[in-house]
Amino acid sequence: MEYDYLIVGSGLFGATYACQATRQGKKCLVIDKRPHLGGNVYCENVEGINVHKYGAHIFHTNNKEVWDFVNSIVPFNRYTNSPVANYHGKLYNLPFNMNTFYQMWGVTTPEQAVAKIEEQKAEAVTKMKAEGVSEPRNLEEQGLCLVGKDIFEKLIKEYTEKQWGRKCRDLPAFIIKRLPVRLVFDNNYFNDAYQGIPIGGYNKLIEGLLEGVECKTNTDFFKSEYHDWCKYAKQLVYTGPIDEYFDFCYGKLDWRTVSFKTRVEDTPNYQGNAVVNYTSHEQPYTRVIEHKHFEMFGQAVYDCPKTVVSEEYSTEYKEEMDQYYPVNDNKNNLLAEKYRALAENEDGVLFGGRLAEYKYYDMAPIIEKVMGLVIE
């Protein structure tokens, strides 16, 4: 037998596993059906800019061990995610903080901001009570009770409707449990201690993780000789979709997806920020990503004469599309449980990552998970 591990999928789960196993003297083969390595963190170089082909990826974590590990593979830059919202041409800082409240109402102190929010929350509750309603019945009522009319209507309502393809009044209240507001002038989206982008892009991270590991792209597990994996390896690490592994025996799991329209703009600086959310129905897309701002700062933005922007659209999932987010409704959760039960009885196979676990993971938790596995 040639390999200790056959690893299906070269995304962060597969690549980190291969790295750890190789460091322990194991021989691995990584296969991926795509024409490139890296899974969803893969970037395409366009006009000297790393374009996040499968959606914007910002690494963030509170786990120092994970941060030190990824930085030992490739140093990370100081990118700080501070998205801006555009509502009918007016700009607001996100997440909701003192800058947002100043832009919204002209208030300058936390006390004034709290008073304004509380006044609007009370208005929403009074209106509901007048209608004989004690608990929010849908996402719209929930949002209004949590943050009041202005923030909800300008920054949440239509954006959420674009994301879900349904009216907030027709969406369940539980989708939004909390809407944190910050009473400080702080536009840093994440609360984590560490965040950034690998210097030189995510492909450098993947190349570093897979250094010295044999890899084959354009190789689909189900359509290649490796389907008969026992002939090649002692163990299988499978990071593809769990339902496909079991030949969809219980039926197909649903996904939500996003699609992107990417173009080159003949200007060095198109929107002045990596992420701009469009929070009204005026634009059909939810966000515009300007990729260079993830990695270029100050003069470097202007030293690169062009820019690449991607409009992001929430899209109904159809077969053959990229699977992005699991659908956490009852039907799909039950189906996923049935597949997980089958996976537990599959000898010599480790199911890991977002597709095989049918679970949304950020990048850092994926790495943390692999770091915690015992590789024998």
Residues that bind ligand FDA (CB under 6 A): 8-14, 31-34, 39-41, 55-59, 220-222, 239-240, 258, 324-325, 353-355, 361-364, 366
CB of 4 to ligand FDA, least distance (A): 18
Q: What are the catalytic residues?
A: 178, 182, 256, 287, 312, 360, 362
Q: Give the number of other Cβ atoms within 10 Å of residue 61's Cβ.
A: 21
* Alpha-carbon distance values, 307 to 185, 263, 302 (Å): 29, 9, 10
CB of 299 to ligand FDA, least distance (A): 26
Q: Which residues pair with 195 in a beta bridge?
A: 60
The alpha carbon of residue 62 and the mean position of all alpha carbons in its chain are separated, in whole angstroms, by 17
Closer residue to ligand FDA (CB): 155 or 258: 258
Please give, one letter per residue, the 3-state secondary structure of 55-96. Answer: CCCCEEECCHHHHHHHHHHCCECCCCCCCEEEECCEEEECCC
CB of 345 to ligand FDA, least distance (A): 20
Q: How many CA atoms lie within 13 A of 344 on its CB side?
A: 6
Closer residue to ligand FDA (CB): 125 or 373: 373
Kindly state the DSSP code that residue 34 receives in the 8-state scheme: S
Please give, one letter per residue, the 3-state secondary structure of 159-185. Answer: HHHHHHCCCHHHCCHHHCCCCCCCCCC
CB of 374 to ligand FDA, least distance (A): 19
CB of 336 to ligand FDA, least distance (A): 15
Q: Give the number of other Cβ atoms within 10 Å of residue 12's Cβ.
A: 31
Closer residue to ligand FDA (CB): 164 or 325: 325
Closer residue to ligand FDA (CB): 96 or 202: 202
Closer residue to ligand FDA (CB): 13 or 270: 13
Identify residue 255 by its one-letter amino acid code: W
Q: Rounded distance, CA 112 to CA 102, Å?
A: 10
Beta strand pairing call for 233-238 and 3-8: parallel
CB of 215 to ligand FDA, least distance (A): 11
Q: Tokens at residue 43, please?
A: 């970037």
Closer residue to ligand FDA (CB): 81 or 120: 81
